[in-house]
Amino acid sequence: MQDGVELAPTYGWPMDRLVFLLAGGSNALVESAEAAEDDEALAIRELAESAVTPEDVVIGVAASGRTPYTCTAIEHARVKGALTIGIANQVNTPLLSLAEIALCADTGLEFISGSTRMKAGTAQKIILNTLSTGIMIGLGRTHDGLMTHMSVSNEKLHRRAVDIISRITGTSPEFSRDKLHEAGNDLPVAILMAAGCEQDEARRLLNEADDSVTMAMAAFRHSSGEICDGA
- Which residues does the annotation mark as catalytic? 6, 37
Amino acid identity of residue 155, one-letter, is: E
Query: What is the β-pairing status of strands 101-104 and 142-143?
Result: unpaired
Residues in CB range of 104: below 8 A, 6 or more apart: 65, 87, 88, 89, 90, 91, 96
Can you spell out the DSSP letters for 161-206? HHHHHHHHH---HHHHHHHHHHTTT-HHHHHHHHTT--HHHHHHHH
Which helix (H) or strand (E) covers residue 84, if one does? Answer: strand 83-88
A 10 A CB-CB count for 102 gives 17
CB atoms within 10 A of CB 93: 20
